[in-house]
Structure 1
Amino acid sequence: MDIALIGLAASGKTTLLHALAAGHLPGGHTSPTETAMAVVKVPDERLDRLAAAVSARKTTYLELRLMDFPGFSVGRKGPPPQLLGTLSTADLLVHVVRSFSEESIPHPLESIDPDRDIAALELELIFADLAVVERRTERIQVEARSLAAGARGPLDRELALQRRLKEALEAEKPVRSLGLTAEEKTLLSGFNLLTGKPLLNVLNIDEADAPRTAEIEAAAREKHAGPDADVIAIAAKAEADVAELPADEAAEFRRELGLPEQAAAERLLQETVSLLGLITFYTVGPQDTHAWSVSAGTPAVKAAGRIHSDIERGFIRAEVIDSADFLEAGSHAEAKRRGNQRLEGKTYEVREGDVINVLFNV
C-alpha cells in the first residue's frame, strides 16, 4: 500500500516521516522534484501476541510505503506535473497541515491557519482532477462522433459521469464527497483522480498542545471529516524525538511531554488502514506468524490468493479461528478441541482478526 505525504512547504512532512520510520531514512529532498520514501511496518499488538503464543521464529507485519512529496505551492493550479505520475499511484493521501508556531521556520502564507491550508491544498488537487476530467470528456465526445447512435451507450454513460464530476469539481467539491457507486468507481479507476482517494488530514501541532490532542481532533473533525476523510493531530517534532529512544525511555518521555499513550506511528498507520477499508487476518505458525490485509468483504478464496496464487488456485476450504479464541486456547489444536475452529468455503467473507489455515491442492 502506498501512502503519499503531501502539504504546503514548511508543514513538517519530513519530520512526520521521521516519526513514523523512527529516523531510519535517507537524506532530505535535494531538488524540487525529489520524493523521499520509507517502508514502515504497521504496529500490531494482536500479531505480537499470536506470534508469542506459538513461539514464532519470524513475525511479519503489514507494511506501508510512505512517499514524502516536496511541498506544494498555492496558486499553481495543481501539483507540479513531474510529481503527478507518482502521486496518482498512491492509495491514500496524508495531508500534513501546519498547526505549530516556529518563528525560525516561516509559513509560506505568512500565518498559521490550518483551515485555510486544508482548503488551499484541496483546491490544488481539485484543479489537477478537473484537468483530467476535461481531457477525458473531450476524448469521449470525439470518439462518440465516430460511432453509430446505437453503439454509443457505454460512452454516453461515461460522458454523463464525467460531466457530473466536472460540475462537482467546478463547485470545489472533491470526488470522494459524491457517493459514487462501486460501478462508477470501477469506471473511473484508471484515471486515479486525486480527490477521489481517501484523505487523512494530520494537524502538526506544537508540543505544548499535545495534552489537548483529543480536543483538537474533535474540533477539526467537525469541519473536515467526511466520506473517506478524517483528521488526527500529532506533535511531529516531539514524536520524532521520542521515536529515537528505547521503548522504556520512550514511554517515560511520552508521559512527561503529555503525548498520547499510543505512538504517532501506530495511530496514523492504523488510521490509514481503516480509511482504506482494509481488514487484517493472520496465518499463525512457529516458522512465521504473518499479518495480511484485504478489503472488507473479501471472500476466503481471494484472501488465500494474498498468501500465494497457488493456494487460491487449489483452494479446498479454510480452517478459521477468531484471534481472541486462538489467544485464549494458545494453539490451533487446543482451539479445535474447544470447538472454536470453523470450516469455511470459498465464499466466506473474511473477518477482522480471523486466524486462517487454508487447505489446498494443486
Structure 2
Amino acid sequence: MEFGILGLAGAGKTTIFSLLTGAEVPFGTGKSHVGIAKVPDRRLDLLSELFKPRKHTPATVKFVDVPPVTKGGAATLNLPELRTMDGLALVLRGFTNPQVPHPEGQLNPQRDLELIETELLLSDLTVASGRLERLAKELPKHRTPELEREKQVLERCLAFLEEGRPLRELALTPEEERVLKGFTFLTRKPLLLILNADEAEASNLPQALARWGLQELESRPRVAVTAVCASLEEEISRLAAEDQEAFLKELGLPDRALSRVLEKAYALLGQISFFTVGEDECRAWSIPQGTTAVKAAGVIHSDFERGFIRAEVVRWDELLACGSLAVCRSKALLRQEGKDYVVQDGDVITFKFNV
C-alpha cells in the first residue's frame, strides 16, 4: 500500500512525511524521498500482550514525499514514483507562520486544493491526449477491437478532464478499468486530504476542517479528509511514550492525529487486516476487502496459497477473551474455513497447507 505526498511549498508535507515514517529528510533538496509508516492497531497490541512474541509486526504504508507542486508545474508531476502509487495524500496549509510565507499569499486551503487538482488534471490531459494522437495514427494501419475500445475509453476520460473533473469521479466498468490500468492517471487515484492545522485549533481539529469547508469534501467519490497539527505532533514525538499520553490528556486529545491519518489512508484504499499469532511473531497483514482465504494465504507466502488445505479462523476479540487458541478450539470458536471463505477485518488465522 503506497501513497504519494503532495503539497505546495510551505504546507508542511515533508514534516508530516518525516513524522509518519521517522525518516530524516533535509529540506529543499528538490528530490523525492521514500519512507515506511507503521499502522497503529490496538488489536495487534493486545494480541502481542497475550502471546508475548519475539517479534511484533504491524501493517505498513509506504509514503513517497515528492517536490512541492507549483502553479503551471503539471509537467513536474510526471514522476514514475508518483504514478505508481495506490493513492495520493494532499497536504493543505491551515496554519499561519510569518517566517514561512504562503506561495499564494493568504491562507486558503480550498484554493490550494483547486490549484493542485488543476495541475493533476493538466498532467492527465497531456497523457490522454498524447495517447489519442498516437492511436489516430495507429488505427488506420492496425484496426483491432482492443485499440478501438481503448480509443473509446480514452475519449470519455478526455471529455471528463476537459470539464475540469477528476477521473476518480468517472464511473467505469471493470473492463474499462482494465483498459486504463497502464495509464496510471493521477486524478483516478484515491485522494486523502490532510489539513495541516494551526496550533490554536489542535484541540478541535474537526472545527478546523469545518472552518475551511473541507469536511464536506468527504462526500466526493474516493476522497477522505483528516487534519493534523504537524508542529504539535513534532513536539509530541520528542517526548517519551508515557509523557506523550499525559501531554495528549492535558490538551484534551484522545490520541495522536498522525494515527488517524494512517487509519484514514488504510481505509481509503479499502484495506483490512487479518492477524497471525504465536510465540515467534504477532503480525498484521494488509489485504483488500473481499479477499478469499486462499489469496490471503498467498500474501504470507506463495507456498501457502499453492498448497492451501484450510484456514483455522477466530475473531481477535474472542481469542483475547479465551486467552489461547486451545481454549477457542474447546469452545468451538476456532472455525475451519475453506479457500472461498472471505476474510473479515480482525480475523486471526492459522493456515494449513501442504506442498
Deviations 1:161-209 (A, max 9, x none): 1011001111110010112233222221111111111101101110101
Q: CA deviation at 1:322?
A: 1.1
* Percent of residue pairs identical: 40
Residues 49-198 of structure 1 correspond to what in structure 2 (within 5 A)? Answer: 49-76=46-73, 78-80=74-76, 84-147=79-142, 152-198=144-190
Q: Does structure 2 conserve the Cα–Cα contact (< 8 Å) formed by 1:39 and 1:64?
A: yes
> Whole-Å Cα distance in 2 between the matches of residues 295 and 224 of structure 1?
21
Q: Does structure 2 conserve the Cα–Cα contact (< 8 Å) formed by 1:19 and 1:264?
A: no
> Whole-Å Cα distance in 2 between the matches of residues 180 and 262 of structure 1?
38
Which residue number corresponds to residue 263 of structure 1? 256
Q: Is 1:227 the counterpart of 2:221 in the alignment?
A: yes
Output the amino acid matched with 2:25. Answer: G
Q: Does structure 2 conserve the Cα–Cα contact (< 8 Å) formed by 1:54 and 1:330?
A: no
Mark the runs of 5 or more structure 1 residues left unpaired by the alignment: none
Q: CA deviation at 1:359?
A: 0.6
Which residue number corresponds to residue 8 of structure 2? 8
Which residue number corresponds to residue 287 of structure 1? 280
Q: Over the residues paired in the alignment, what is the CA RMSD in angstroms?
A: 1.6
- The partner residue of 2:25 within 24, 27, 47 is 27
State the SS of the aligned residue for 2:178: helix
State the SS of the aligned residue for 2:26: coil
Q: Does structure 1 conserve the Cα–Cα contact (< 8 Å) formed by 2:190 and 2:222?
A: yes
Residues 296-335 of structure 1 correspond to what in structure 2 (within 5 A)? Answer: 296-335=289-328
State the SS of the aligned residue for 2:139: helix
Deviations 1:96-152 (A, max 9, x none): 00011111110001110010001110111111111111122122232221235xxx3
Q: Does structure 2 conserve the Cα–Cα contact (< 8 Å) formed by 1:91 and 1:198?
A: yes
Aligned pairs, how many?
Answer: 353
Deviations 1:328-349 (A, max 9, x none): 1121111111111111111111
**Which deviates more from structure 2 when the two are superposed, residues 53-62 or residues 123-132?**
53-62
Distance verdict in 2 for CA 1:52–1:86, change over 3 Å = same
Deviations 1:209-262 (A, max 9, x none): 11221233354121454111111111111012102211221122223344x322
> Whole-Å Cα distance in 2 between the matches of residues 176 and 287 of structure 1?
42
State the SS of the aligned residue for 1:31: coil
Distance verdict in 2 for CA 1:101–1:30, change over 3 Å = closer
> Whole-Å Cα distance in 1 between the matches of residues 68 and 344 of structure 2?
39
> Whole-Å Cα distance in 2 between the matches of residues 245 and 37 of structure 1?
25
Q: Is 1:343 the counterpart of 2:341 in the alignment?
A: no
Mark the runs of 5 or more structure 2 residues left unpaired by the alignment: none
> Whole-Å Cα distance in 2 between the matches of residues 80 and 225 of structure 1?
29
> Whole-Å Cα distance in 1 between the matches of residues 75 and 44 of structure 2?
38
State the SS of the aligned residue for 2:214: helix
Q: Does structure 2 conserve the Cα–Cα contact (< 8 Å) formed by 1:319 and 1:341?
A: yes
> Whole-Å Cα distance in 1 between the matches of residues 120 and 128 of structure 2?
12
TM-score, normalised to structure 2, is 0.95
Output the amino acid matched with 2:124. Answer: D
Distance verdict in 2 for CA 1:216–1:26, change over 3 Å = closer
> Whole-Å Cα distance in 1 between the matches of residues 41 and 341 of structure 2?
24
- The partner residue of 1:206 within 198, 209, 216 is 198
